[in-house]
Amino acid sequence: MTDPISEDSRVIDTFADVYNATLVHRSDLTSDLAYFRVKLDGPATPFTPGQYMTAGVVADGRMLQRPYSVASAPSTADTTGYELFVRHVPVVRFTTALWRLQVGHRMRMIGPKGKFMLEPDDARTHLYVSTGTGIAPFLSMIRETMAQGKPRRTILINGCSFADELGYRQELEAWQQDPAYRLSYVPTISRPSDPRNEGWTGLTGRAEQVIPAICKQFGLRPDKTVVYICGNPEMILNAERLLMDRGFPEFHVKKELYWPKGKAPGVVAAAG
């Protein structure tokens, strides 16, 4: 579950492991998007690429917490910690509290959890479709398969409203130039006429809208391709419909929602 809208002063899952941790790094992409790295006090807990951890901070005497997909590879959790790609949503108190933290501040981590996981030894072409911070689990998947020396043929679509919101863009463009990664990076912008996107010369349209053209461009066959989708539920429904129209069976499409169907950003919902 990537960037779902939920926060609570209680432990989200009383059966999950709880760890003391420290914020060890922060890098801002825009005024409301940033990369955070959190390191556990003790040995890192293992996770599978695609899973999420719940981060917690104390604010006004209460523990606020939210689950985020981990963007880093499991193999680096002991050395550099767990990387989270977070959007500041003012109506969600957790993100406001997180934005105020200084590096070195104490935190809490719970997990890992989630069934949106990379299947082992899957030789099919992988099509990743994401919006905004929904790109995070795919970074973990790419990083880990590369660390294992087993990269998979991957096409990664990431849609954002504005070009400056394209997370990990420089890293992905560099990987695309390296044949070892076997990666094709496909960023797309949904508001091309906005002055903030002046100078953008890449693809335009929402992430799901470019799927037919990308399938045609790369010759993606339903029997030779597995699709992972992460983002808001409307995008996922639209993407699924477009894929089904192209003959992709439902069991070839894996999905992870930003927030539960029927909810909107800013509405507090139960954790998944």
CA atoms within 13 A on the CB side of 227: 28
pLDDT band at 8 (very low <50, low <70, confident <90, very high): very low
Question: What is the pLDDT of the chain when averaged over all its residues?
Answer: 90
Between CA 45 and CA 271, with CA 16 as vertex, the angle to 5 degrees is 115
Whose CA is closest to 2, among 89, 75, 47, 66?
Answer: 66
**What's the CA gap between 228 and 106, in Å, rounded?**
34
Residue range 23-51, pLDDT digits in tens: 999 999 999 999 999 999 999 999 999 99
Model confidence pLDDT, tens digit, residues 160-209: 999 999 999 999 999 999 999 999 999 999 999 999 999 999 999 999 99
DSSP 150-163: ----EEEEEEESSG
Among residues 90, 104, 150, 159, the alpha carbon closest in space to that of 126 is found at: 150
Write down all domains in the chain, each with its CATH number in brackets: 18-113 (2.40.30.10), 125-257 (3.40.50.80)
DSSP code, position 34: E
Cα dihedral value 10, 16, 17, 20, nearest 10: -30
Residue for token digits 């993100």? 95
C-alpha to C-alpha distance for 102 and 24, rounded to whole angstroms: 9
> What is the C-alpha separation between 56 and 139, in angstroms, rounded?
22
Structure confidence by residue, pLDDT tens digits, 236-249: 999 999 999 999 99
Long-range CB pairs of 192-197 (<8 Å, 24+ gap) are 194/161, 194/162, 196/162, 196/163, 196/164, 197/162, 197/163
